[in-house]
C-alpha cells in the first residue's frame, strides 16, 4: 500500500510514522508513505496556501492551485489509486470501510486546514470524502494518521504473529472480553477462577459470554451488525434471562 499525504504540516507525521506497527510495516516495505508539503507548490514570495473567502466572513480558505499542483506531483501507482479528502462531510470511517479501502494500491490523502479547501478541489480532484468522527478538529492530519494506522493493520504481513483478539473480536463486530495478568489478586480484586482452571473449552465459553455481555451492555448498536452464531444467540438469551432475575 502506498499512502501519499498532502499537508501544510508534514512534520506532524514524522514520529507517528517511526513507531509501532506502522513504523515496522514501513521498515519492512509493506507500506510506503510519501509526504507532500502543499506549501512547496504555493506561488509568490510568501508561498501562501490560504486566502480570504469570497463573500466575506471569518477565517481563511485553502487555495485550490497549490493543492491541485501538489496532487499532480504525486506519481500515480496505476489504476488502483484513490484520492480522498479528510473532512467532516465524509462517510465516517469504520472497520468495514477500512477493509474496502485496503484493497486500493494507493491512497492519496488530502488534509485540510483553516476553514477548509476551495470547493473546486472537491469538484475536480476528489474521489472520496472520509471522516474519522463527529467532532471538531483543527486539520485533517489526525484523520490521515488514523486512516493509515487502521488500514495498515489489514495489509497481509503487517501484523505478523500478533494478530490479537482485539482484531478477532472486532472483526466479528464485538467488544473484547476482559483481560487479566499477574498478580492474581490486585487491590482485593481476584482473577476469575475459570481463567486459572486450564479448561480451555470452559475458558472459550466464558470469554465469548463476556464479549457478548459487554457488547450488549455498552455498545448494543454493534450487535445488529455482528456475525452472531446460534451459540451466540443462545448465550445472549441466557444473559438477558440472568439480568431479569429478582
Q: Which residues contribute to the site for ligand 4FN (CB under 6 A)?
A: 86-88, 112-116, 131-140, 143
Q: Is the four-CA dihedral 200, 206, 212, 214 of positive or negative sign?
A: negative
Of 4, 10, 118, 153, the catalytic one is 153
Name the residue nearer to ligand 4FN (CB basis): 113 or 213.
113
In the complex, minimum distance from the CB of residue 61 to ligand 4FN, in angstroms, rounded to a whole number: 9
Name the residue nearer to ligand 4FN (CB basis): 8 or 174.
8
Name the residue nearer to ligand 4FN (CB basis): 64 or 174.
64
168 tagged catalytic:
yes
Nearest-CB residue for ligand 4FN: 143
Of 88, 149, 208, 209, the catalytic one is 88
In the complex, minimum distance from the CB of residue 132 to ligand 4FN, in angstroms, rounded to a whole number: 4
Name the 3-class secondary structure at 70: helix
> How would you label 7-33 residue by residue, b for 16+ Cβ within 10 Å and e otherwise?
bbbbebbeebbeeeebebbbeeebbeb
In the complex, minimum distance from the CB of residue 239 to ligand 4FN, in angstroms, rounded to a whole number: 35
Of 168, 231, 233, 238, the catalytic one is 168
Which long-range contacts link 19-25 to residues 24+ away (Cβ below 8 Å)?
Answer: 21/149, 21/152, 21/153, 21/158, 21/159, 22/148, 22/149, 22/152, 24/158, 25/152, 25/155, 25/158
Query: Which residues are known catalytic residues?
Result: 88, 115, 153, 168
Amino acid at each position: 500500500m502506498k499512502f501519499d499525504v498532502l499537508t501544510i504540516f508534514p512534520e506532524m507525521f514524522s514520529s507517528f510514522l517511526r513507531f509501532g506497527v506502522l513504523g515496522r510495516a514501513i521498515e519492512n516495505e509493506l507500506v510506503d508513505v510519501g509526504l507532500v508539503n502543499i506549501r512547496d507548490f504555493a506561488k509568490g514570495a510568501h508561498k501562501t496556501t490560504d486566502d480570504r473567502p469570497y463573500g466575506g466572513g471569518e477565517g481563511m480558505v485553502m487555495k485550490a492551485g497549490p493543492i491541485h499542483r501538489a496532487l499532480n506531483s504525486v506519481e500515480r501507482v496505476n489504476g488502483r489509486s484513490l484520492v480522498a479528502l479528510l473532512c467532516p462531510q465524509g462517510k465516517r470511517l469504520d472497520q468495514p470501510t477500512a477493509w474496502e479501502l485496503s484493497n486500493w494500491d494507493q491512497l492519496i490523502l488530502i488534509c485540510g486546514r483553516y476553514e477548509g479547501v476551495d470547493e473546486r478541489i472537491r469538484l475536480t480532484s476528489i474521489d472520496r470524502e472520509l471522516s474519522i468522527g463527529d467532532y471538531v478538529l483543527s486539520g485533517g492530519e489526525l484523520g490521515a494518521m488514523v486512516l493509515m494506522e487502521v488500514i495498515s493493520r489489514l495489509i497481509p504481513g503487517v501484523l505478523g504473529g500478533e494478530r490479537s483478539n482485539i482484531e478477532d473480536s472486532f472483526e466479528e463486530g464485538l467488544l473484547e472480553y476482559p483481560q487479566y495478568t499477574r498478580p492474581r489478586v490486585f487491590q482485593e480484586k481476584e482473577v476469575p477462577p475459570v481463567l486459572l482452571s486450564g479448561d480451555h473449552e470452559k475458558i472459550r465459553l466464558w470469554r465469548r459470554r463476556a464479549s457478548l455481555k459487554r457488547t450488549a451492555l455498552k455498545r448494543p448498536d454493534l450487535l445488529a451488525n455482528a456475525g452472531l452464531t446460534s451459540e451466540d444467540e443462545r448465550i445472549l438469551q441466557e444473559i438477558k434471562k440472568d439480568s431479569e432475575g429478582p
